[in-house]
Amino acid sequence: MKIIYLLLLAANLLLQSCAGVVNFMDPQGPVYSGSYAKWQLADSRIIKVVSYNIAWAAKVDLAMEELRRFPRLRGADIVLLQEMDAASVDRMARKLGYNYIYHPGSVHNVHDKDIGNAILSKWELSDGKKIIFPHKQSWNDRIRTATVATVDVHGRKIRTYNVHAATVLMSAGKQLEQLESVLDDVTGAYDYVVVGGDFNTARPGSIRRVKELFTRAGFKRASEKAGCTAWALGVLPFTLDHIYIRGLEVLECGTINSAEASDHLPLWTTLRFQQTTLPFATRQVDH
């Protein structure tokens, strides 16, 4: 059955490839940002991270409703969004009360809008940039990227990477090289690192290979017990989305199986700083 799904995926992508793609090849731009956070933030040792691929930003209003409605998603400190356009990112950040940095990777003429990854956060964001992955998609020359930013939690700086890797139509070796380009960017300057997003690990054995790659770099798979993150054709489970961490401890993780804003499920995890003794909480200011 998984082979049937992969063939259908390939056919769908090839149909879309008839339209041209405009890539943004400058790592520094274009970039969009906004500062809409209205949270009264005490120091916190617990950090909630959510990753959500919203499928061409087609159901942004429903995604916002889900981020408010489900307790496991509500009030996340960091939200990683994939397949977003600039207008939708700004609207989500403004409505939900987040700061954001967004780097589009390309403009796809099928949808006639930019597409890329956004990092939203309650906390101050800085030092944003885009990593352009090696290997364009062979059928339309579209690039894949990671958006990078630093989240400052009262002096504890979390270097954060939001990844959207290529699909299984790219070889396993080239997919891994895209993720290696993220790990090549990670330095010892940051005690805390989060790498999350859509890794597109649909190929048999790819989850294991990705875990081995990140483990060698000193990371833990925070979302290991979360379960599948996508249902192909409504019946075939796939684990495409992941969250990896360094310098943090995993408390819980999971997905929201009843979410309907995308063909992906929102993935969440709660984390704790390994070296902190300040058990304060955060709450949102009414606005």
Q: Domain residue spans in the chain?
A: 2-284
- Residue 249 neighbours by CB distance under 10 Å: 13
Could you say which architecture CATH assigns to the domain 2-284? Answer: 4-Layer Sandwich (3.60)
pLDDT at 70: 98
Average pLDDT over residues 262-276: 91
Strand, coil or helix: 131: strand
Q: Is the dihedral of CA 35, 104, 201, 216 positive or negative?
A: negative
> Tell me: the pLDDT tens digits for 25-55?
999 899 999 999 998 888 789 999 999 999 9
What per-residue confidence (pLDDT) applies to 15?
A: 44
User: How does residue 281 score in pLDDT terms, banded at 50, 70 and 90?
Assistant: very low
Give the three-class secondary structure for 118.
strand
User: Confidence class of residue 139 from pLDDT cuts 50, 70 and 90?
Assistant: confident
Confidence (pTM): 0.91
Q: How confident is the model at residue 5 (pLDDT cuts 50, 70, 90)?
A: very low
Which residues have C-beta within 8 Å of that of residue 133, sequence separation ≥ 6? 143, 144, 145, 146, 165, 166, 177, 178, 181
Under the banding of pLDDT at 50, 70 and 90, the label for residue 84 is: very high
203: nearest Cα among 40, 6, 4: 6
Find the largest Cα–Cα distance for the chain. 56
Q: Could you report the per-residue pLDDT of 143-170, keeping only the tens digit for each?
A: 999 999 999 999 999 999 999 999 999 9
In terms of residues, how long is the chain? 287
